[in-house]
A and B are shown apart, each in its own frame.
Chain A
Amino acid sequence: MTTENAAPAAKQKRPIVPYLKLPENEEPYLAGCRCTSCGTIYLGERRACANCMAVGQFEPLKLSKRGKVYDWTIVYQSAPGIKTPYIAAIVDLDGGGTVRCNIEGIEPDPKNIRFDMPVEMYTEVVRQDREGNDIVAYKFRPI
């Protein structure tokens, strides 16, 4: 087979951050861990606990897809390619863990957003990387 006739590499779905897991034939989820020494919950993996400094004492966690808006802003000026205005938020997940995310599904207007608003996670393809793979991000929308 010559290189001209070789089939193109299959397009993959890649998460925008490593702690967003996209398992085959299963729902995407946020992976985290809990320090067994002090109980602090983190996104992704850790070598040592930022809170109590314990080394390597973590149990893996699947974080909840639901949470509440702890804090938010509406961003009007951003990096090239980002559609503005958009709602940026800090969401406390049910059962522990906190994420930074966009809130979609509502107009970015202060009167549409409330502190402690319940929200749920979903995923979508946001762009393609340089090899043409789909980049998947998580977002939250009001429940």
Chain B
Amino acid sequence: MLNMRDVYVVGVGMIKFGRYPEQDIGSLGGQAVLLALKDAGLSLKDIQIVMSGNLYQTSMSGQRILKEIGMTGVPVYNVANACASGSTAFREAVFAVGSGAYDVALAVGTEQMGKMGLLGAPSDPSTSPEGVLGTGLMPGVFAMAGMEHMRKYGTTIEQFAKVSVKNHKHALLNPLAQYQVDLSLEDVLNSRMVAYPNTLYMCCPTGDGAAAAIVASAEKARQLQGGGKMIRVVASALTTDPYTPRTLVFPDINTMTRECARQAYEQAGLGPKDLSSVELHDCFATAELLHYENLMLCGEGEAGRMIDEGRTALGGDIPVNTSGGLLSKGHPIGATGVANICEIVWQLRGQAGARQIEGYKAGLAHTIGLGSACAIHILTA
């Protein structure tokens, strides 16, 4: 991959996403890191560099975590790429080891969202065009992305709503998910509208949480795994949105994801048919269907049929978001990009409990951040 030596994931850990108003990111992140270290059989002293993904508390997020669990004096990068912050931190850790500069690197993602309601709402409403000249905030943008798909392919609101039903069902099997509620299609469609066609249950919640992943060189991984499964990162791709018509006014989340996916599949030498599952960025139910096509899990315009046929549910031929996705597992922004790595690793190791897919071979983790960035990793065992 990218002229680098092989990189292996040797430990992962995450805390249950939820609301922890009394904890700051040092505390949240510290817990996740300790879990990952325990999983790896390592001490914080073994970590040579830390990549800390966080959006709203970006100032020194990594250092705050080290202050909580061990101030080793190692290099720390504080990484922000909107909702792709955690993935970008993971990529940085992969590159740190892949380049040969380090043998063991830690990626940690955190977010403490407090009582944040509408993300990105203007701090000075008296001068902002938000809500006066349309909307540039996430609910509206992702709603319009879904509407564009409806316009092109006749996708229905029910098909989008099925994404929420599926992901909430998956989360019932994930004790680390923020919400474990069985929702029917009627429950989803009847919840209050946020931005047409996304209802409340079609929007991911805000919340607090942290996840961590430790990567290492082949030699170090062999020492640690002692003959156990070696989880290799076979692709790491990061793109930003290239210019497309309208994108300055209506962010195009599709083009950059397609290009990112193309690069990732090429690096891995794999195609969508080789994947055992996908953890993708379902910040809104509308987004998930678009990404079925963007990640080439199905052809153009076929996403609606894909969800209708149950192909992306557990038991289907390409399960998507077995963790519950952002919709039900939650989306503490910086944590998400590392949390989806955790799910893929657990699946690869056979540690996904009731969510375990038989004969798991390869998983793809995907996030996007509006503004914009797309990050994709592919892992195999």
- Residues of A participating in the B interface, judged by any CB pair closer than 8 Å: 16-17, 40, 42-43, 50-51, 70-82, 84-86, 88-90, 92, 98-102, 110, 115, 126-127, 129-130, 135, 137-138
Contact = CB atoms under 8 A, between A and B. Distances in A.
Interface in B119-141: 121-122, 125-137, 139-140
A101 B131 contact: no
B244 to A, nearest CB: 9
Interface stretch (B43-51, B193-201, B264-272): B193-201
B148 to A, nearest CB: 5
Contacts of B9: none
A137 to B, nearest CB: 5
Contact of B194 (A51, A76, A90, A99): A76
A60 to B, nearest CB: 18
Given A75-B196, A77-B139, A102-B132, 19 more contacts: A16-B133, A43-B249, A71-B250, A72-B147, A73-B143, A73-B144, A73-B196, A77-B194, A78-B135, A79-B122, A80-B121, A82-B131, A84-B131, A92-B246, A110-B196, A130-B126, A135-B126, A137-B129, A138-B133
B147 A137 contact: no
A141 to B, nearest CB: 14
Given A80-B125, A88-B144, A90-B249, A100 B134 contact: yes
Chain A interface, DSSP helix/strand/loop, else mixed: strand
A98 B132 contact: no
Report the interface size class on chain B. Answer: 35 or more
Interface in B94-150: 118, 121-122, 125-137, 139-140, 143-144, 147-148
Nearest to A78: B131
A70 B125 contact: no
Given A71-B250, A79-B118, A101 B134 contact: yes
A71 to B, nearest CB: 5
A128 to B, nearest CB: 8
A99 B139 CA distance: 18
A100 B250 contact: yes
B248 interface: yes
Interface string B227-270: 00000000000000001011011100000000000000000000
Nearest to B198: A73
Contacts of B121: 78-80
Contact of B249 (A16, A73, A76, A98): A98
Nearest to A137: B132
Contacts of A101: 133-134
A79 B131 contact: yes
Top 10 closest pairs, chain A to chain B, by CB: A82-B131, A100-B134, A73-B143, A74-B196, A88-B134, A88-B135, A51-B243, A78-B131, A79-B121, A90-B250
A58 to B, nearest CB: 15
A95 to B, nearest CB: 14
A16 to B, nearest CB: 5
B131 A99 contact: no
Nearest to A81: B125
B154 to A, nearest CB: 12
Contact of B132 (A16, A72, A84): A16
A7 B139 CA distance: 46
15 contacts: A16-B133, A40-B245, A71-B144, A73-B143, A74-B196, A75-B196, A80-B121, A81-B131, A88-B134, A98-B249, A100-B250, A101-B134, A102-B134, A130-B126, A137-B132
Nearest to A96: B245
Given A16-B132, A71-B250, A76 B126 contact: no
Given A51-B243, A73-B195, A100 B127 contact: no
B140 A75 contact: yes
A43 B246 CA distance: 11
A51 B244 CA distance: 8
A92 B151 CA distance: 15
A100 B195 contact: no
Which residue, of A70, A101, A135, has the highest number of chain B Cβ atoms within 10 A? A70
B192 interface: yes
Contacts of A102: 131-134
Nearest to B151: A115
B249 A100 contact: yes
Nearest to B244: A51
Contacts of A130: 126
A86 B131 contact: yes
B129 A88 contact: no
B260 to A, nearest CB: 19
Contacts of B245: 40, 98
A18 B132 CA distance: 14
Contact of A79 (B125, B133, B143, B144): B125
Contacts of A80: 121, 125
